[in-house]
Structure 1
Amino acid sequence: MSPLLDVRELVVRYGRTTAVDGVSFQVDAGETVGLIGPSGCGKSSTAAAVLQLRRPHSGEIRFGGVELTALGERELRAVRPRVQPVFQDPYGSLSPRRRIRDQVAEPLRAQGRWSAATGPGRVRELLALVGLDGEHGGRLPHELSGGQCQRAGIARALASDPELLILDEPVSALDPSMRAGILNLLLELQETRGLGYLFICHDLAAVRHFSDRVLTMREGRLTAS
């Protein structure tokens, strides 16, 4: 059985600086692969390349058997809903001027899956899935806690019906109680939906607790697995 995500000899450069240098790894459906390392080691550059937010200098990124680096922007639009990010800053990843329900609905509208008859109900389902309700949906981000905002960000990611989530430091900005709640939510979603996770973090204890496998990066290279 082919892996959900297959990264081979990935190289990411910024001018003359090599941020990611020959990185290879796989993520299976329903598996969590942790990626750990110090700041500046290339973790987030790896995530950006997988998400095709940053085109790699060389290497292959296969998702569901499709070589992403060979696709044009129009073809990528059809694939992107299946690979969704959850970012570090729960407030910064949401628009401060739009209500939560509208931001969760945004992927449905963008992908042509919104209708007046079913859309509002789908948004309520997504909010309930992450432990929020209609009252939370009617608020602006600054009216929610950091943990609630991160739950809203996860609901927005789930609106695209993804198969893989790229979790880039998803709990590092939260206090310990909120951190545990988000990690437990992610585990529940994985069990019920079979999601694959690439979990990027600098906290070794959290990565080991949460991940099926752990990869370590230093200076753009994998040093252990």
Structure 2
Amino acid sequence: MSDVLLDVRGLVVRYGKATAVDGVSFTLAAGEVLALNGPSGCGKSSTALAVLQLRRPDRGEVRFEGRRLTGLTERELRRVRPRLQPVFQDPYGSLSPRHRVRDAVAEPLKAQGRWDPSEGPARVAELLDRVGLDPSYGDRLPHELSGGQCQRAGIARALASDPRLLVLDEPVSSLDPSIRAGVLNLLADLRDDLGLGYLFICHDRAVVRHFADRVIEMRDGRVTSEWSPRPPDAALR
């Protein structure tokens, strides 16, 4: 895991006079699961938003695949973002309730000018199958799916861009425990098959212990410690 995907140095994010992220630094390698762990309000999600440049940091530097993201224009960022994709906590909120699942998965391909009408539907079906959904689920609206199925559809949409890094912001915290392990196992398989790196935001220490390669603990916007749990637990499978 020597191929550094993400290099964050001295990240600071402020909301008015409140400092949400205060000098956070870390690196993340290709194929690595790096978890940000800590209580609610510790700055985990603000760090993730700054990494994605959805919230521009007030200070510090974010480099992805060696390229400095901080300071790029929105137009320049659009060329980078396909390789750096988010998966959010609320599976229903991340998909438009008016769009069928197949359209949601196809949207990144169309936005990036990569949609081929003759091959695109087969690509969408392939992506749905890859995340454990029957391609027929593409005809459904988000509210016709369970929470776990909807999160799988969100992962399929993220994969449509052929990313190298997924920023997973509490991706299983809203799911039932019986569904959670299945989604984590899917993410583990995708990491192994595609060589993806994950920035994994999670408040649940037990989940982090079983899923992450390295863990950064945060409190009050700062890094307080770093530790390495055992490899992903075979019991999750």
Q: What aligned pairs does 1:148-167 form with structure 2 within 5 A after superposition?
A: 148-167=149-168
Distance, in Å, in 2 between the alignment partners of 1:159 and 1:118 is 13
Q: 1:173-212 CA deviation, whole Å, 9 max, x = no partner?
A: 0001110000000000000000000110010010010000
Identity score, percent: 73
Task: Give 3-state SS (helix, strand or coil) of 2:103's partner.
Answer: helix
Give CA deviations for 1:118-154 in whole Å, capped at 9, x if unaligned.
1001000000000112221100011010000000000
Secondary structure of residue in 1 paired with 2:39: coil
For 2:232, the equivalent position in structure 1 comes to none
Alignment of 1:78-97 (within 5 A): 78-97=79-98
Alpha carbons 2:21, 2:46 under 8 Å: kept: yes
- 5+ long unaligned stretches in structure 2: 227-237
**Contact 1:20–1:220 (Cα < 8 Å) also in 2:** yes
For normalisation by structure 1, the TM-score amounts to 0.99
Provide TM-score, normalisation by structure 2. Answer: 0.94
Q: Aligned ranges for residues 60-209 of structure 1 at < 5 Å? A: 60-209=61-210
Give the aligned partner of residue 44 of structure 1. Answer: 45
Cα pair 2:9 2:61 within 8 Å, conserved: yes
**Which residue number in structure 2 is paired with residue 6 of structure 1?**
7
Higher RCO, Cα 8 Å, sep 6+: 1
CA-to-aligned-CA distance 1:7-66 (integer Å, 9 cap, x gap): 000000111111000000011000000110111110000000000000000101000000
Structure 1 letter corresponding to 2:150: C
> Offset at 1:2?
4.9
Indicate the residue corresponding to 1:27 in structure 2.
28
RMSD across aligned C-alpha pairs, in angstroms?
0.7
5+ residue gaps, structure 1, are none
Moved over 3 A (4+): none
Counterpart CA distance in 1 for 2:135 and 2:31 is: 29
Residue aligned with 2:4, SS: coil
